[in-house]
Amino acid sequence: MSDDATDDPGTADAPGSDPAIAGDGERSFVLFGAARRAPPLPGGLHVVATPIGHLEDVSLRVLATLAAADLIACEDTRVTRKLLARYGIARPLTAYHEHNAAQARPKILARLATGEAVALVSDAGTPLVSDPGFRLVREAREAGFAVTAVPGPSAVLTALTIAGLPTDRFFFEGFLPPRGGPRKSRIAEIAGIPATLVLFETGPRLADALADLAAGLGPREAAVCRELTKLHEEVRRGDLAELAAVYAAGAETRGEVVLVIGPPSADAHVSPAEIDDKLVAAMRTASLKDAVAAVAAATGEPRRTVYQRALALGREASDEP
């Protein structure tokens, strides 16, 4: 999974939209209507961040790296070709994603072994954020190949900068489990983390995820950041329960979504009822031991206290007719 998904907000009249200007196969790119030859690129793996939406959010170094690479490894060649066409870049592409990584990785490493320069990109944003790129980076380093980062856009940092929530400490969770039981258990595990939480979510799951987050985390401030940098960018703020109600009522959910959730209050008190709710949710999908550990970590309560409450809940359930 990429950092976000690219969807250029209108580029018909943008400079450099005709790839033919650069010439077929030339190591060059087009900027403001003029072709510029890319300088030679040293051999090795170049991890390249690409725009998360607006195709003009690209650096000169990114364009030069892509134009000079011997090979560009990307999640979806169709998505990457859109960026390359915008800037008149014509270089060989190969697919590298979670479904073919095991087969594609040795081939890329073999290219690196010959001294070639390979650029690694995700569909959008910074590679290795919710995608399989770390295995390629790890094996490239273990084999002694140079690995270079070409920094740029990130949906995580973009959302943090505009959410209006604390940024001194944050925890990136990625995607929560798609199903209700495991999702609630994971929310219980991260509830006690003393930092702003950043999560990715899909539109169809957004309302349910917000409802579970509201139940598991309480009335924390949050922001739903949708379609960042794109034509229909939207940032909706409120506490988790308010946002859950808005999206349950049918607010627009299309596009890529980043959730930013404020940290727990320093003086937050967890009631016995809240502990029971978290235990019940956790024990649906986890063993007693794992559920107790998760809830104790999330609430800050002593593990022995939580364990005794879990046993009591079990007895109460067995006594029911």
Q: Write the pLDDT tens digit of every residue in 101-150.
A: 999 999 999 999 999 999 999 999 999 887 778 999 999 999 999 999 99
The CATH number fitting domain 19-153, selected from 3.40.1010.10, 3.40.1350.10, 2.60.40.180, 1.10.260.40: 3.40.1010.10
Write down the H helix ranges in 192-286: 206-217, 240-248, 272-283
User: What distances in angstroms separate CA 309 from CA 28, 171, 182, 290, 306, one per listed residue?
Assistant: 66, 29, 21, 14, 5
> For strand 257-261 and strand 28-31, is the pairing parallel, antiparallel, or unpaired?
unpaired
Q: Which helix (H) or strand (E) holds 201?
A: strand 196-201
The pTM for the full model equals: 0.76
Region 65-84: mean pLDDT is 97
Q: Check pLDDT > 90 for residue 73.
A: yes
The per-residue pLDDT for 9 is 39
- Kindly report the length of the chain: 321
In this structure, are residues 307 and 295 in contact, taking their beta carbons and an 8 Å threshold? no
Give me the torsion for CA of 158, 154, 100, 149, rounded to 10°: -170
Which DSSP letter does residue 257 get? E
Q: What is the pLDDT of residues 146-157, one digit of tens each?
A: 999 999 999 999
Give the range among 162-176, 183-197, 244-258, 283-297 with minimum mean pLDDT.
Answer: 283-297
Q: How confident is the model at residue 268 (pLDDT cuts 50, 70, 90)?
A: low
Kind plus residue range of the DSSP H or E element containing 136: helix 133-142
* pLDDT, average across residues 63-67: 98
Which position has the higher pLDDT, 185 or 16? 185
Helix pair 206-217, 240-248: axis angle to 10 deg: 150
Which pLDDT belongs to residue 320?
59
CA-to-CA separations, 34 to 28, 57, 126, 138, in angstroms, rounded: 10, 18, 27, 38
CA distance 259 to 156: 9
- Pairing state between β 170-175 and 257-261: unpaired
Give the model's pLDDT for residue 180: 87
196 beta partners = 170
The CATH number that domain 156-261 falls under is 3.30.950.10
pLDDT, residue 15, reads 35
- Which residues partner with 259 through β-bridges? 199, 224
